[in-house]
Structure 1
Amino acid sequence: MLHVYGIKNCNTVKKALDWLNENQIEYTFHDYKKEPAQESKLKEWEKIVSWEELVNKKGTTWKKLTPEQQATVVDDASAREVLLQNNSMIKRPVIEVQNELILGFNEDTYKQKLANL
């Protein structure tokens, strides 16, 4: 079973959940607004993807940081600290499937990696 992490009102998360529902793929959903991301989970993800992939630098939360604050995000530890303080800055959605992570929504990627589950 898949585990999807994100925020319900995020358009990208909505697209991902709609795709999963349309393709009858079972999943559990972890809403950051109800249950913030845990440091242990971020450390787990850091073993699979880089901190650069996890930090959503295109979103408004990142853009609200000062240039000085942005400049402090330089490695796993500093990114993790910022992400724990600002869960909405985590790339969305994060989908755990087997020993892999899928970040964001890309229908072709979903078809390739999820359609046969």
Structure 2
Amino acid sequence: MVFRKALSYNVSHDLKVNGAFMSIDVYCHSRCTTCKKALKWLDEHGIKYTLRDIQSDHPDEAALRKYQALSGLPLKRFFNTSGMKYRELGLSAKLPGMSADEQFALLASDGMLVKRPLLIKDNLVLAGFREAEWAEKLG
């Protein structure tokens, strides 16, 4: 499958926008069906990217802080609320009582807690795959 091959080789590609090359990083998990749909969409639209394994190469706390600020999204949207790890830790009950610093530290501790796919392109951050949003922002 292309996904596994891209992960193995960590293929790097660029997108040319307004005459300048823009690097795109996409954090995914190999068994995530939403990630597979997102990568298929990118491939079908000829958008090149660097594929990163969210489990072994997840963003650190500083990067997550930057991504959240750039996205304009609430911090909770960066949590993979449908993931097993999120449920195992009982985070739906714990997050409201945690400070932002504690939440960022928790996100940085385990890539499986991070919403995926997570697409990073210069000043654009997309958490999760919503085709219409990706088409608007990347089209």
The normalised TM-score by structure 1 is: 0.84
Q: 1:87 aligns with which of 92, 105, 111?
A: 111
Greater CA drift, 43-52 or 9-18: 43-52
SS of the aligned residue for 1:42 comes to: helix
Two-structure CA RMSD over aligned residues (Å)? 2.1
Matched residue count: 115
**For residue 66 of structure 2, what is the aligned residue in structure 1?**
44
Q: Distance in 2 between matches of 1:107 and 1:80?
A: 27
Contact 1:51 1:75 in 2 (8 A): no
Letter in 1 for 2:106: V
Q: 1:76 aligns with which of 89, 100, 115?
A: 100
- Which consecutive unaligned segments of at least 5 residues does structure 1 have? none
Q: Distance in 1 between matches of 2:81 and 2:56?
A: 23
Larger Rg: 2
Query: Which structure has the higher relative contact order (CA within 8 Å, separation 6+)?
Result: 1
**For residue 22 of structure 1, what is the aligned residue in structure 2?**
44
Letter in 2 for 1:30: R
Percentage identity across aligned positions?
Answer: 26
Contact 2:60 2:108 in 1 (8 A): yes
- Which consecutive unaligned segments of at least 5 residues does structure 2 have? 1-22
**For residue 112 of structure 1, what is the aligned residue in structure 2?**
136
Letter in 2 for 1:106: R
Greater CA drift, 13-22 or 60-69: 60-69
Q: State the Cα distance separating 1:68 from its structure 2 match.
A: 9.3
SS of the aligned residue for 2:119 comes to: strand
